[in-house]
Amino acid sequence: MNAAVRKTATPAAPSKTAATTKAKPAAKPPAPVKLPAKPPKASPAAKVARPVKAAAKAAGKSPGPVLKADGKPALKTGTRAAKAPVLPQAEALPLPVETVVDAVRPAYWDEACADLMKRDRILRKMIPTYGPAHLISRGDPFITLARSVVGQQISVKAAQTVWERLVAVCPKLTPAQMLKAGHDNLAACGLSRRKAEYIVDLAEHFKAGRVHVNSWTEMDDEAVIAELTQIRGIGRWTAEMFLMFNLMRPNVLPLDDVGLINAISANYFSGEPVTRSEAREVAANWEPWRTVATWYMWRSLDPLPVTY
């Protein structure tokens, strides 16, 4: 039965779709397109630098250093970071010589500067920075001492303000005029009551002739200091300012001066605290021109020259 069935069975007719659809010839593969070579992959530093440079170009500024992905500057191979200059450039700080009618320039100044620049590496850079400026004095002993008293324990700016008020009250700046003004008027200029008393006591010493003004030029430094410190309000620092700014002594080292100690700390010890002994050791290399070196140390902290 099964064999007969198999003989009589006919194969199924192909579907209409299959009969009517003709096989299409296979399409040729398209010719390969040559693409331009890809640019090399940018490094993280370049990705960071692009927007920085673009922004700088739009602002008309220099793009500045290239930065790494972590924000730190990327240095070229074989180069070192430049060290920050310790002192300002000479052309950036032109200091004119202060104009004072009766100002006196120390005769030893140029020789001292040349000598200090030969032996001290800090002063070798510092001295040319401040151009022609130099220590000056008005030459009047009473005015020098009075200004020194006014400047005790206050800033240079504050001292100048008080002094200008004092000049308005006593324009001649003589001992007699100070005595005539009295404590109250002097204190009204901005002096403390104690400083007003010191100025009056100083004026009394000068008017009564209790100080040997005409002998000071022939006395050594310590002898002048000993006489001046007998006056109320005149301590060693004030006497040393007198030696520097009036008698123009070339080798004064005012170790009680906070500005000098701070300048030695900043220029020789990277800002570390300095003892008097360490400051004296540094200054040993300045002899016999410690006055000149001290003046430049002050200028490194405050470019405005001070006069007394």
Walking along the chain (308 residues) 10 residues at a time, the average pLDDT comes out as: 44 46 52 53 47 45 45 42 38 36 77 97 94 83 93 86 95 95 95 95 95 94 96 94 94 95 96 96 98 96 70
Of 202, 198, 171, 173, nearest to 187 by C-alpha is: 198
pLDDT of residue 60: 47
**The pair of three-digit structure tokens given for residue 287, joined into one six-digit string:** 């002899």
pLDDT of residue 137: 79
The answer, yes or no, to whether the previous bond of 14 is cis (omega within 30 of 0) is no
The pTM assigned to this predicted structure is 0.65
pLDDT of residue 27: 54
Given the candidates 1.10.1670.40, 3.30.830.10, 3.40.30.10, 2.60.120.10, the CATH classification of the domain at 87-137+249-308 is 1.10.1670.40
- Look up the CATH superfamily of 139-247: Hypothetical protein; domain 2 (1.10.340.30)
**What is the maximum span of the chain, computed from C-alpha positions, in angstroms?**
163
What number of H helices and E strands is found in the chain? 14, 0
CA distance 170 to 176: 10
Q: Could you tell me the residue ranges of all domains in the chain?
A: 87-137+249-308, 139-247
pLDDT of residue 156: 79
CA distance 224 to 308: 17
